[in-house]
Structure 1
Amino acid sequence: MTAYYNGFPQSDKDEKIDMINLDELEERAKEVMPEGAYYYIASGSENEWTWRNNTTAFNHFQIVPRALTNMDNPQLDTEFMGMKLKTPVMISPIACHGIAHKDAEVATQKGAAAAGALFASSTYGNKSVEDIAAAAPDAPRFFQLYLSKDWKFNQMVFDAIKQAGYKGIFLTVDALVSGFREANLRTQFAFPVPLDFFTRYQGAKGEGQTVAEMYASSAQKIGPEDVRRIKEMSGLPVFVKGVVCAEDAYLAMGCGADGIYVTNHGGREVDSGPATIDMLPEIAQAVNHRVPIIFDSGVRRGSHVFKALALGADIVGVGRPYLYGLALGGPKGVQSVIEQLNTELLIDMQLTGCKTVEDIKHAKIAHINYTADNLKSNTDPSRIKPYPVTAENQMKDDDSDAVSGASHS
């Protein structure tokens, strides 16, 4: 079945996904998502060099197997910021889950909770933080903040997330403006489903606006004094999200950040920037265990999670694949994505003698660089493939006010 919001098709599935690996889901998601919404997820900025190499660069590091370890039955349980988790895999924050499923962030939270994973929701979420919290009251969750120019708006957000039991804030500092996202321009994508915080504050739905227009409402300059102010106003721990060099890690810790979030926004902002995994070792050395480190961008395999942990991360986020899982299977689809990574990670732990997540942080990693690609983006006319037309992914022609960039039969 497919639900519709003003003609925009939304999955209503809730089923486990049969898969061999996460890469399969990217192509399968086309069958249930409109074209514009799909490419909002499945794209990066400009030529998408950084987006691709976020994953490719994991090959610069190699897991060294260990023998005669006399170890079996590895365990994924870990603790982070006082929260007990069943896995070091985290659901990274992404805007507008309603493009993948009718229950949006509520469904994602349910899937994360079922897997025992940390969940992070966005300022640009469709569902209210109250509804997200009610879906899994005891589940651990953080909030990604797009700092507004309007501090009354910011205070409203802080009050809401604290009341809803969120345990901390990820302050996004690497997306002051939108990257040049060619896929969004080619499909004329605009947010098709209302964004809760905009609705409750201004009565504006945040619907029908482009990504660039949404970013324009956020602060275009953020400095150390903002970190201090957010900590004071919210009373919550604040991680600086968007750190990709040692200098910025020092700066963030110097202004009181409670943690460092290593990410390049999944290759959606500065193209030709370095892959996050290549920058993680220097950041970890600068941090030197003084505050926790979260890592994301490009994670598609359990081995990627292993490498990030071994190179200095405490928690490893996955992004796009869980939205494909959400579209294909709802809450259980999200759970399936996390469990797939867990399955692969446990194999790597067994074959390296790592009994616990803490052991992974001391595993032996080799480092050999490989030449990366320089392909054009997947939506460049020379590479784009015909988009499938199915009964589930089409706009309804009688709803002319819908905005999605969907193809029509």
Structure 2
Amino acid sequence: MVPAEGLVGIGRAVQGAIYAAGAYGHKPKMPVEPAALYDAARRRMSPQAWSYVAGSAGMQRTDAANTAAFERFPIVPRMLRDVADRSLGVTLFGHDLPAPVLFAPIGVLEMAHKEAELAVAQAARSLGLPMVLSTQGSVPMEETASALGANPMWYQLYWSNNDDLARSLVSRAERSGAQAIVVTLDTHSLGWRTKDLDLGYLPFARGEGIAQYLTDPVFQQLVRDRVAEKRSGDAGRDATQAGRVGRAPKGEAVSRPSAAELHQRPTPTAIRTLISISRHYPGTLRDNLRSPLPRAAVETFLDVFPCPALTWGDLAKLREWTQLPIVLKGIQSVDDAQLALEHGVDGIVVSNHGGRQVDGAIGSLDALATITPVMGGRLPVLFDSGIRSGADIFKALALGASAVLVGRPWLYGLALDGAAGAQAVMERLLAELDLTMGLSGVASIDQITRDCLAQ
């Protein structure tokens, strides 16, 4: 429940509404306790979807390190300070925001809820918080931007190995009203995600989470070129084979399937995958099942996604493509933070992708604690990876973050109750942040400093 005056007093409003409903026997539809929210979402989602959104790399040690890091920075509440009127507002890149919290970019949202980004847009719009759209979206960015209206929107870019495609995605985001471009650096290749590997599950191979690509003119041309090239190659091979073996007797195939081909005959899962690919591709299911384009689109995506050759020097190209603020997401070292500053970017996000890329890496909050003192306020330093509560947000801000990106918690809410669930989870995080501020003796975000934590 957002107060009529916005986020002012949100802590008391949300808390009071829950207790008032409880007096009449109504418990919260959405679990408030983080572990209960986690368990409820796990029960609601399919094993494949749950493993993909909740799983991390390897033995899940980096994910564990992310949450454990918050234990190392206890809050020290201060007393007898006037905190009757509290403000959560901040300014980022020249835009006033009601709170230093953003909806983090998460791909393949259709696995959590059928309305995907459109539901999240509704939640973000209700709270006035920026939504960071993912390149791996389930809904084209133009449709999500329309659903957001005037609400702040940023665009997260996975820089593919095709610069024309990357530039096209950035241009589309700018035309759609994005206020910043967030370049994810740590996912130029997929991490070793054991839970997904055990299930043999990659959503993109089913055509899920590639809506931005399927609606992009550069990508569409790449797909058409691939089909044309394959047809040309097949025609050449057929001609060569016909000249070598001659005409086959009537009613007899030119060649019989090999043992390997027999082993790969369609299975029910393969048929479901083909139907999924065809449903996601623009056009009718019937036409797509007969067309080579949908399968070629998935193959093209798998070819263009990885970009391990990207370097600091490539950032100059992005500056030529857009005048929007450029934010680098995935910074974990002081040296890289300094390089980002030297290359003239406008901000960084200290993040390890929620532990999904490198197993056994540094906890993101520990990285934040070392990076912000070196940056000295010369550029905004944002944070994600490991936030599960409003108190966690408070600690990240105290360690120097200008704002935080929240991901998995609202995704669990989305899975449980669509837009209302995502909004409820974010409201409660803001409510706890507000109450934590008051109980710790601070009345505004700029008063949350390192002094609020044990030294």
Match of 1:323 among 411, 419, 425: 411
Is 2:136 the counterpart of 1:124? Answer: yes
| Distance in 2, Cα, partners of 1:266 & 1:89 | 16
Contact 1:76 1:87 in 2 (8 A): yes
Amino acid at match of 2:48: G
Contact 1:171 1:240 in 2 (8 A): yes
Match of 1:157 among 145, 166, 169: 169
Is 2:289 the counterpart of 1:274? Answer: no
Task: State how 1:21-40 maps to structure 2 within 5 Å.
Answer: 21-40=33-52
Contact 1:243 1:249 in 2 (8 A): yes
Match of 2:127 among 73, 95, 115: 115
List per-residue Cα deviations over 1:112-145 (Å, max 9, x = no partner). 1211212101111111111111112111111111
Q: Which residue in the other structure is 1:95 paired with?
A: 107
| Distance in 2, Cα, partners of 1:282 & 1:276 | 10
Match of 1:198 among 191, 213, 221: 213
SS of equivalent residue, structure 1 residue 304 = helix
Amino acid at match of 1:140: P
Q: How many pairs are equivalent? A: 351
Q: Which residue in the other structure is 1:264 paired with?
A: 352
Amino acid at match of 1:326: L
List per-residue Cα deviations over 1:278-333 (Å, max 9, x = no partner). 11122101211111011000000111100000001011111111111111111111
Q: Pick which of 298-307 and 32-41 moved more.
A: 32-41
Q: Which residue in the other structure is 1:302 paired with?
A: 390
| Distance in 2, Cα, partners of 1:151 & 1:266 | 27
Amino acid at match of 2:152: P
Residue 194 of structure 1 deviates from its aligned partner by 5.0
Q: Which residue in the other structure is 1:76 paired with?
A: 88
| Distance in 1, Cα, partners of 2:45 & 2:88 | 33
| Distance in 2, Cα, partners of 1:355 & 1:308 | 17
Q: Which residue in the other structure is 1:238 paired with?
A: 326
Match of 1:51 among 42, 45, 63: 63
List per-residue Cα deviations over 1:59-111 (Å, max 9, x = no partner). 00011010111322322122211222222121111111111111111211211
Contact 1:111 1:331 in 2 (8 A): yes
- Look at both structures and tell me which one has the larger radius of gyration over its CA atoms: 2
SS of equivalent residue, structure 1 residue 114 = helix
| Distance in 1, Cα, partners of 2:303 & 2:381 | 26
Q: Which residue in the other structure is 1:18 paired with?
A: 30
Contact 2:157 2:170 in 1 (8 A): no
Q: Which residue in the other structure is 1:284 paired with?
A: 372
Is 2:184 the counterpart of 1:175? Answer: no
Contact 2:155 2:180 in 1 (8 A): yes
Q: Which residue in the other structure is 1:398 paired with?
A: none
* Aligned alpha-carbon RMSD (Å): 2.1
Residue 28 of structure 1 deviates from its aligned partner by 0.8
Q: Which residue in the other structure is 2:337 paired with?
A: 249
Task: State how 1:344-383 maps to structure 2 within 5 Å.
Answer: 344-361=432-449, 363-367=451-455
| Distance in 2, Cα, partners of 1:322 & 1:233 | 32
Query: Structure 1 residues 194 and 51, CA, compared in 2 at 3 Å: closer, same or farther?
Result: closer
Contact 1:176 1:215 in 2 (8 A): no
Contact 2:99 2:129 in 1 (8 A): yes
Structure 1 runs (4+) deviating above 6 angstroms are 206-210
| Distance in 1, Cα, partners of 2:67 & 2:209 | 32
- Specify every segment of 5 or more residues in structure 2 that has no aligned partner in the other structure, as ranges: 1-27, 224-279, 282-293
Residue 214 of structure 1 deviates from its aligned partner by 4.3
Residue 168 of structure 1 deviates from its aligned partner by 0.9
Q: Which residue in the other structure is 2:428 paired with?
A: 340
Q: Pick which of 322-331 and 291-300 moved more.
A: 322-331
Residue 235 of structure 1 deviates from its aligned partner by 2.1
Residue 39 of structure 1 deviates from its aligned partner by 0.9
Residue 275 of structure 1 deviates from its aligned partner by 0.3
Q: Pick which of 226-235 and 294-303 moved more.
A: 226-235
TM-score normalised by L of structure 2: 0.73
Amino acid at match of 2:129: A
Structure with the largest fraction of helix: 2
| Distance in 2, Cα, partners of 1:280 & 1:17 | 35
Match of 1:145 among 157, 161, 174: 157
| Distance in 2, Cα, partners of 1:154 & 1:141 | 18
| Distance in 2, Cα, partners of 1:270 & 1:214 | 21
Amino acid at match of 2:131: F
Match of 2:75 among 52, 57, 63: 63
Contact 2:30 2:416 in 1 (8 A): no
| Distance in 1, Cα, partners of 2:168 & 2:420 | 32
**Percent of aligned positions with the same letter in both sequences?**
33
Residue 218 of structure 1 deviates from its aligned partner by 2.9
SS of equivalent residue, structure 2 residue 327 = strand
| Distance in 2, Cα, partners of 1:327 & 1:187 | 20
